């Protein structure tokens, strides 16, 4: 990766480009105070490969995606959600590419154009399916993240398995949190724990809710003091129209690059500035946050343990097993609640 490159958004349906020097960091002694410990600077070019997928036409969609990656000349190319097929909720009716074949295509493309390649696709997971985000490095290494929050309104939860593991991908000196579409609506899952520098969100977000998409990109950027790179599809499927609105948003919620499927093309330039303006050094809000959901659960467990101990029979209170269970529950809740303060 050469020095003095920038954060870039290259768009199909009118090429949108922007050059934004992004000063990332690596191997910092205190990730929560990045601005005080700048050691290395990383400039990365990211291509937003927004395009209209043909419904359930994997071969043609992969050819179109490769054309966009070839045109971008980027360090990282980001494809939309379910880029090979479009958003399918009945995957058993669809001729899906095999996971290993799809991964082999991503590796060939990444190696051929010397770029990391990321996007989500439908894959089999046991007797069900997963909406799996792949991040493939130019050298061939791959990481996977399964969409955590399934879009039940669209029937995704009926045949897909929700992911259980939060993943952070390191590449080129930067740390990325992968998200898939509906994940963007859940701030606790997206919360920065001083463990990533930018969010990568791939989506098939319908046009009637486009303002929600644009607002959530900014919200996640502001509350986590990070950069957000969001790529959405364009065109139509049997149920929805998609407007694109792919964007790069900085940690102040300012759009650095935006794209609209209705525009034939545009360009924009924006400088992020020096390392002192790096997001996690701006305000210490990340170190001050608490996990309301987790504390609520811990509170319920603690209340249950206390009621169990107080209302239990004398034999239970005096038994080593009963006393150990109650004390164990109290200690577990205390440890969880202290984690935010450590």
Tens of pLDDT, residue by residue, the chain (342 residues): 433 333 433 443 333 233 333 333 333 333 333 333 333 456 788 999 999 999 989 999 999 999 999 998 899 999 999 999 999 888 888 788 899 999 999 999 999 999 999 999 999 887 889 999 999 999 999 999 999 999 988 888 888 999 999 999 999 989 999 999 999 999 999 999 999 999 999 999 999 999 999 999 999 999 999 999 999 999 999 999 999 999 999 999 999 888 766 543 332 223 323 333 445 544 555 555 555 455 555 555 556 655 655 555 455 556 667 667 766 766 665 555 444 333
Report whether 50 contacts 80 (CB < 8 A): yes
Using DSSP, state whether 254 is helix, strand or coil: coil
Q: Write out the two tokens for 22.
A: 């992004």
Q: Which residue among 49, 66, 147, 156 is the active-site one? A: 147
Instruction: Give catalytic status of residue 147 as yes or no.
Output: yes
**Terminal-residue alpha carbon distance, the chain:** 36
Instruction: Give catalytic status of residue 252 as yes or no.
Output: no
Q: Write out the two tokens for 164.
A: 């259980």
Q: Which residue among 49, 156, 181, 190 is the active-site one? A: 181
Instruction: Give catalytic status of residue 54 as yes or no.
Output: no
Q: How far apart are CA 297 and CA 137, in angstroms?
A: 39
Q: How far apart are CA 242 and CA 84, in angstroms?
A: 16
């Amino acid at each position: 990766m050469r020095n003095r490159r920038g954060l870039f958004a290259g768009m199909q349906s009118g090429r949108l480009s922007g050059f934004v020097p992004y000063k990332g960091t690596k191997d910092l002694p205190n990730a929560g105070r990045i601005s005080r410990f700048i050691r290395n600077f990383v400039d990365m070019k990211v291509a937003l490969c927004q395009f209209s997928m043909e419904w359930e036409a994997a071969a043609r969609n992969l050819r179109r995606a490769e054309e966009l990656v070839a045109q971008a000349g980027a360090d990282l190319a980001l494809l939309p959600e379910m880029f090979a097929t479009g958003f399918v909720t009945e995957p058993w009716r669809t001729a899906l590419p095999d996971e290993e074949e799809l991964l082999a295509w991503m590796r060939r493309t990444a190696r051929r154009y010397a770029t990391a390649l990321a996007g989500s696709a439908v894959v089999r997971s046991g007797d069900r399916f997963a909406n799996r985000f792949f991040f493939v490095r130019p050298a061939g290494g791959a990481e996977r993240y399964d969409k955590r929050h399934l879009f039940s309104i669209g029937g995704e939860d009926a045949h897909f398995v929700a992911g259980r593991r939060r993943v952070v991908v390191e590449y080129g000196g930067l740390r990325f949190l992968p998200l898939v579409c509906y994940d963007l609506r859940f701030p606790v899952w997206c919360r920065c724990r001083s463990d990533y520098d930018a969010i990568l969100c791939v989506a098939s977000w319908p046009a009637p809710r486009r303002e929600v998409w644009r607002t959530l990109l900014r919200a996640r950027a502001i509350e986590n003091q990070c950069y957000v790179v969001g790529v959405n599809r364009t065109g139509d499927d049997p149920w929805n129209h998609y407007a694109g609105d792919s964007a790069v948003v900085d940690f102040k919620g300012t759009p650095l690059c935006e794209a609209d499927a209705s525009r034939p093309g545009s360009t924009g330039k924006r400088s992020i500035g020096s390392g002192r303006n790096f997001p996690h050094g701006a305000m210490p809000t990340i170190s001050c946050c608490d996990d309301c959901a987790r504390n609520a659960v811990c509170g319920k467990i603690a209340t249950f343990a206390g009621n169990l101990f107080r209302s239990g029979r004398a034999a239970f209170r005096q038994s080593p097993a009963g006393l150990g269970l109650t004390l164990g529950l109290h200690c577990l809740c205390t440890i969880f609640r202290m984690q935010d303060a450590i």
